Amino acid sequence: MAPPDQPHVVHLRAGGTSVVLRLDADRLPCVLHWGPDLGPLSDADLRPLLAALAMPYVDSPMASQEAVALLPQHSSGWLGQPGLLGSREGRDWSVGFDEVTHEVTTAGTPGWADGPSGAQRLRSVGTDRISELEVVVELEVLASGLVRLRAAVRNLGQQPYQVDRLEPALPVPAEAGELLDMAGRHSHERTPQRRPFGVGHWVRESWGGRPGHDAATLLCAGQPGFAFRTGRVWGVHLACSGNQVLGAEHAVTGWRLLRGGERLLPGEVRLAAGQAYASPWLLGSWGEGLDELAGRFHRMLRARPQHPRRPRPVLLNVWEAVYFDHDLDRLRALADRAAELGIERFVLDDGWFRGRRDDRSGLGDWYVDEQVWPEGLAPLVDHVRGLGMEFGLWFEPEMVSLDSELATAHPDWLLRTRRGVGPASRHQHVLDLAHPDAFDHVLGRMSALIDEYGIAYVKWDHNRPLVEAGRGPAGTPGVHEQTAAAYRLMAELKARHPGLEIESCSAGGARVDLGILEHADRVWVSDCIDAHERHRIVRWTGLLLPPELMGTHVGSGVDHTTGRRHDLDFRAGTAMWGHMGVEWDLTAASPEERAELGAWIAFHQQVRALLHSGDVVHADLANPALQLEGVVAADRSEALYVLAALDHTLTWPPGRVPLPGLDPERTYRVDVPPPGDRLVRGAGTDRRVPGWVAGGAALTGRVLAEVGLQAPLLGVDQLVLLRAVAVPDPAP
C-alpha cells in the first residue's frame, strides 16, 4: 500500500466488469479503467499502473490532467464543466478538499441497505473546512456488472448553501469515438441518433419535470460503427423522473466523460445547516456491442426484490375501444369478449370520475361519476371478476382541471408562479403534491377506491409538462419536490395495498426512467401502438428495459395515431414482445379476427416465461429493410426470434439472417411456429418459401450465428417467428 499522502489504486470487480480507481488523500476518486474484467489483481499488480498512465508534461499541470475525479472540480485544475456548483450568496463557490477518506466494502457488510450478492462499493468523503462543505461520492459495481454512481453535498456551515449543479461523471477511453442517444416526440419516441464524439460538450437536457418524449434515455459512447453485436460501447442512464441532463464531454487534455444529474431550477435546493442533497443515481454499462450493454441493465432490474415475479397478465385497456363513452352494457360485452380470448386483466381508462365527459374537466375529483355510474363501479368490477379477470383503473394523480371541485376549493394547491398557473396543456394544470394537504387528499381518495373495488392495477398518467412549476405564494421552484412527492405517493399506495401494480404512463413514453421504475411495474412506452412504429420504439427502449417492463398492445386494424392499416399477424406478432395487451373494441372484431387474436394470446402465454427471463438479442443485418431480434433462454436451451420487413428490400430474395445468442457447441432445430407461420404455411408446395422451412433446420449455434438461414420472402410490414430448440445429446 502506498504511504497515506501518496495516491494508491483499488480494483472493484463484479459481473464481468472491472473498475480501477486512483485514490488520493486530498482528491475524490478518479477512474483509470471501466470495462472488461481484468481478473484478480494484487496491490503489487496495481501499483505500477500509476506510473504506466502518468502523462507527459505539456505546458502546465492543467494541460496534463493525470486524474479527473468522479466529481470534477476546477480547484484540481480541471478546465471543463465542474461537477459541483453552488455558493452562499456568491461565497464558497470553489470547492477543494483538506482531506478525503476512502472505504471499500462488499455487499452484506454494514452500510449496505440493498446491495446484491457479489457487489462492491467505494465510498469517499471529502471535507472542505474553508467552504464548510462535505462531499460524498459513492461508486458501486453491481453483480450484473452495472456501475452506479452518485454524489452528495452536506452544508457544515451555519449560512445556507445553494446547490446549482451536482453531476458526477464516468470516463471512457479514447476508442469511444462515436455517440449514440435518442430523440423523439409524442407518439414517435426513442429514435436513435449518432454523431462523432468530438472535442466539446454534447448536452441533452429535459426541463419539463419529466425525461420527456425527446429524452436521450441512454447516452452511449463507443468504437465508431458499434452495433448490437459488435464494437465496444459504454453508456449511462440517469435514474431521475424530473428535470435532468446527460452530457458527453471531450476535453482537449484527452479525457472523455459521460455525466449526468438533476437539472435544478434557481434556488431549488438551499441547504440549511446540516442538510444534504444527493444526486440521482447515474448508472453505467458497457459491452461488446449494445446487446451486452443492455443485458447488464436487464439483469440488474430482474434481480431487484420488487421486480414482477408472477406471469405478466395479458390485459385489455378500453381507451381506444370506448374513449370517454362509458356505458355499462357495452363495457360488460367488451369484458365478455376479452375473457373468451384468455385476457387476464381488464383496465378501465379515463372517463369514470365526476364531470369527465371529455378531456377538458374533472381531473382531481377522484369520485365515481354518479350520473354515468349510478351504482358505482361495482356492477362492472363484479362482472369482470366473475369472468376471472383482474380489474385495473386509470388515474392522473398529479394533475387537475381548473374547473374541478378540487381546484375551485383549493387554488393554493396548484403549482404556480406569482403571475399564475401558467399555460395549460391538454386543458390541465399541476397539483402540488409536496403540499401536505394535497398529498393526503389524493392518497386518501386513491386508497379508498383501491380498497372499495379491490383494484389490482393502476394506470398512472402524467400528461402535462411541469412549466411555471412554483410552490406557495412566492412561487418558489418546485419540480424537485414534486418528483420526490410522486415517488412517495406511489410507495405509500403500495405499502397500504400489497400486490398493487402501477403502470407509469406520461402522455405515452415521456417518463421512462429507472427512478419511476423503483415504484412502477411497467411503463407505457408510447401512445402510438402502430406496429411499424412499435418495432423501433420497443427495440430502442429495450436498451434500458427488459420486455416484461414495457407495455405492448394490439390495436385495431387502423391505427389510432398514424392511420396505418396492418394485418393482425403483424400487430399481434409485434405486441407479444413485451408485457402484452389489447387496445381494441373487440365487440366490433369479426369471429375470425377474435379467433386469430386468441391464438396469438395463447402463444404469448405459452412463451412469456422465456420472453420475460431470457437474454434479448438483435442481429446486425446488412439488409436495412429487415429487422431480427429475439430472446434466448438463460441456459441456452431455446430461443424465439421475430424477423420483420419494415421497408422494401432492394435485394430479392432478401438473403440470409443469423440467429445470435445460441450456444455455439449445441445443435438446434429451427422451425416456424404457429400462429406466426401464416406467411409460410404450405411450405412444401410454395416455391417462394425457403426449402428449410418445410422440415425445419438442425444446425449448431455457431453455424446459425455465423452462416444463418435464408430469410422467407416478406412484404413490407410482415413478420415471421423463428423458434430454436436445442436437440438433446444422443444417449451414450
Catalytic residue from among 291, 365, 369, 527: 527
In SS3 terms, 407-447 reads as HHHCHHHECCECCECCCCECCEEEECCCCHHHHHHHHHHHH
Torsion of CA 311, 241, 510, 184, to 10 degrees: -120
Strands of the sheet with 8-14, listed across from one edge? 8-14, 17-23, 30-36
- Report how far residue 629's alpha carbon sits from residue 626's, in angstroms, rounded to the nearest whole number: 10
Sign (positive/negative) of CA torsion 505, 506, 510, 514?
Answer: negative
R_g over Cα of the chain:
27
Amino acid, single-letter form, for residue 444: G
- Report how far residue 399's alpha carbon sits from residue 625's, in angstroms, rounded to the nearest whole number: 42
Task: Tell me the angle at which helices 531-541 and 568-575 cross, rounded to the nearest 10 degrees.
Answer: 20
Chain centroid offset of residue 474 CA: 35
Task: Tell me the angle at which helices 591-611 and 328-340 cross, rounded to the nearest 10 degrees.
Answer: 60
In SS3 terms, 84-121 reads as EEEEECCECCCCCCCEEEEEEEECCCCCCCCCCCCCEE
Catalytic residue from among 24, 181, 349, 461: 461
Do residues 149 and 19 make contact, with C-beta atoms less than 8 angstroms apart? no
- Report how far residue 1's alpha carbon sits from residue 9's, in angstroms, rounded to the nearest whole number: 9
Number of H helices, E strands in the chain: 14, 40
- Which cell numbers in the block locate residue 158? 451555519
Q: H helices within 497-578, ranges in order?
A: 531-541, 568-575
527 is catalytic: yes
- Report how far residue 610's alpha carbon sits from residue 562's, in angstroms, rounded to the nearest whole number: 31
Active site residues: 461, 527
